[in-house]
A and B are shown apart, each in its own frame.
Chain A
Amino acid sequence: MPLLALQNLTIALPPHADRPLAVDDVSLQIGRNEIACIVGESGSGKSLTAHAVMGLLPRGVTITGGHILFQDIDLLKESADAMRRRRGPDIAMIFQDPMAALNPVMTVGHQVAEQIRAHRAISEHPALKQAQELLEQMGLKDAGRLLKAYPHQLSGGQRQRVMIAMALSLSPKLLIADEPTTALDVTTQAQILKLIKRLQAEREMSVLFISHDFGVVADMADQVAVMRHGRIVESGATRDVLGNPSHSYTRALLAAVPRGESHLPPPPDSEALVRVSGLTKRFRRGGLFSRPPAVTAVDQVALTLKRGETLGVVGESGSGKSTLARCVIRLLDPDAGEVLLDGVDIAHLKERALRPLRRRIQMVFQDPFSSLNPRQTVGDIITAGPRILGEDARQARARATDILSLVGLNPQTMDRFPHEFSGGQRQRIGLARALMLRPDVLIADEPVSALDVTVQAQVLKLLDDVRRQMNLAMLFITHDMRVAAEVCHRVMVMRQGKVVEEGPTRDIFAAPASEYTKALLAAIPGRGRTSNRPIP
């Protein structure tokens, strides 16, 4: 008897949604002491499936058919009160964003203790003691002190450990983990995944793990179900599904996962177009009465960039890679150092003197949703730059037609508004906006981190094609080593504002010099799988 069995589960979306069914006739079994993964892209229904098991569907979303059997009891027939009593002792859940799931005005200890006391008749003090033991089991050092801390005083990894402690405080038989490491840095992600695996083995519980990342799935799952448009297209043992996928969609997804291997031909040899040296940026968080010490976000960074070459800047959040990019493109004013563009130092130019040079360095932004003005049409957005430079509006539109075709969009979409496009299409529009100015340097700041893996592969290929066709110098900012390996000739690893090491991508991946880079590479999920997987 499986611990959890979904039988023909069907979940309907509200009437005006883009499709009638969020989850369509899904059947799935999770045995005891087993980790099952549901993997899929955004909108595949994987998260709603998990929430349905918890009885926590959002308003307007209703279960229209099927059964959810937990130890042979149909949870859909349970009363709301009975379901409430099951959450915790029977089924518990952890979420993607621990900051949003924790109460910001209550101490961590109080929240963990409250969870225990909601289900067991014990008083505050022993509950706190149990909480401390739990935090220690989660590998948190100094648990006694953490009990008295508030969520904002913890790091992302610590918060997720606290969430896991809360979920496990009542020893549930099933833990549902909904993208629990998506918001975390890659090294923290590796630690949390290891923790979940260890706890699962120690407690012999079952885990339903939701993820979009095949690397994570390969590391975690005993069983995989691949979801698309609300349906399970393929399921089975992890080794079979990943090693020998039978469905074309699974194969496409696997092919889209960046392999972490560099196959780029070397860039054409030329003079350096951009030379950065001694670049430093400090941030002061000044109050009215106090002057706290400045944080050095970028510390004495030097780099060179040739035409036709892509330099990857990789690092975890807070490493200063985005600040570096914004100093080079002068969205921020650096405190010291120089940025030579064709021999001209633009690091300290006044805005007025800088404006004519801005055309030459362009940028593709991270967030496909906030990087396009929602009130302007695509045509207006991408022709604004040339029109500022005095280009005739009709001529700019004619060029926009060509550029839109180049980035793979139908030029007839020029009169539409950004909200009518998908995330991947919006990134193409953002690229078109940059290319309209015929730049020499293109800075891409995490251009694919908000995209699904298949779309991500397409956009990466597009960026590389455009770089080659237009002989662009590209500065590529990313937190994802796998992505960097795909598109970068050279890689620069940053940590706490400083350059840790720099070199040709292949060398850095094959023989990292610093411990930090080694740790980053070791933390890449699914590493063991990527090397021996047959190339589809």
Chain B
Amino acid sequence: MNFARRFFARPTAVFGFAVFLVIVLIALAAPLLFARGPLSIIGMPLLPPGSPGLLAGSDVIGRDMAVGLAYGARISLLVGIASTCCAVGIGVLLGAIAGYYGGVVDDLLMRVTEFFQIIPAFVLLMVLVAFLQPSLTSAVIGIALITWPQVARVVRGQFLSLRSREFVEAARVIGMGDAQIIFTQILPNALPPIVVVSSMMVGNAILTESALSFLGLGDPNLMSWGSMIGGSRVAMWVAWWTTVLPGLCIVVTVLALNFIGDGLNDALNPRRRG
């Protein structure tokens, strides 16, 4: 397929896609590889990587870091993907309505969007999560709530320019209803930028979740990369691996997602088609 060829023509996109695939596979296989779970204590604390049986060492209370990293990938990816799906859902719906109808509807929805954009996002997120009790669900809801405005803005812009195209007028002339025009005529043409923004948002959501967990606002019963860094910060100077390894995981994942986003942008951008 033409699209796949354009996407994989970029070495960074290939790299990003491969790395992301490996991380997803590790996340999926974690319960099979490490049946005992990430929270069980298996030995002495702060053993360095490469100690017998401990590929990535142990953390401040003697839990296996490798198991933690594998299980952490599940949480990070889950939060990243779930919150992005929610944010894209809200953003596409509101952006589409605002851009398609314009006028008063647009003014109203855009003021709501701006309301979310002018509040310091992370502060809002912390308040929300603290209010809802720290859990996986509250993190997903919170991150979705602070990120949907950027999707809504992109979608609105697309709809504003697409709705005046003649094929949309033609759809109205043959008697098509608004919902059908929005979903079958305009949305398919607005997809490329939405896909690109979404891939970047997954990376950002992973970062945000890490920051929440680092501050102790993550789900206390789950191990994520952010909570691993947060829990180990006291040992940062004596046992570098306890913070550097989960940090590296975050960096590599987010980098991979950004490379994928860039690749999608080039592959979907019609101006770059030869």
Contacts from A to B (Cβ < 8 Å)? 16, 326, 329, 331, 355-356, 358-359, 361-363, 365-367, 370-375, 384-385, 388-389, 430, 433-434, 437
Contacts and interface: CB of A to CB of B under 8 A. Distances in A.
Interface string B162-190: 00011101111111110010000100110
Given A374-B189, A375-B188, A433 B175 contact: no
B50 interface: no
B120 interface: no
A370 B171 CA distance: 12
Interface of B: 165-167, 169-177, 180, 185, 188-189, 274
A363 B170 contact: yes
Given A331-B172, A373-B171, A388-B180, 11 more contacts: A329-B173, A331-B169, A358-B172, A359-B175, A365-B169, A371-B169, A374-B189, A375-B188, A375-B189, A385-B174, A430-B170
A384 B189 contact: no
A285 to B, nearest CB: 13
Contacts of B185: 373
Contacts of A331: 169, 172-173
A388 B180 CA distance: 10
B132 to A, nearest CB: 36
A371 B174 contact: no
A399 to B, nearest CB: 14
Nearest to A372: B167
Contacts of B177: 355
A478 B188 CA distance: 32
Contacts of B176: 384, 388
Nearest to B178: A351
B170 A365 contact: yes
Nearest to A430: B170
10 A-B pairs with least C-beta separation = A385-B174, A371-B166, A365-B166, A358-B175, A375-B188, A373-B167, A370-B165, A370-B166, A355-B175, A363-B173
Contacts of A329: 173
Given A16-B274, A365-B166, A367-B166, A373 B174 contact: no
A367 B165 CA distance: 9
B6 to A, nearest CB: 13
A362 B167 contact: no
Nearest to B174: A385
B173 A384 contact: no
Contacts of A367: 166
A135 B174 CA distance: 50
Contacts of B171: 373, 384
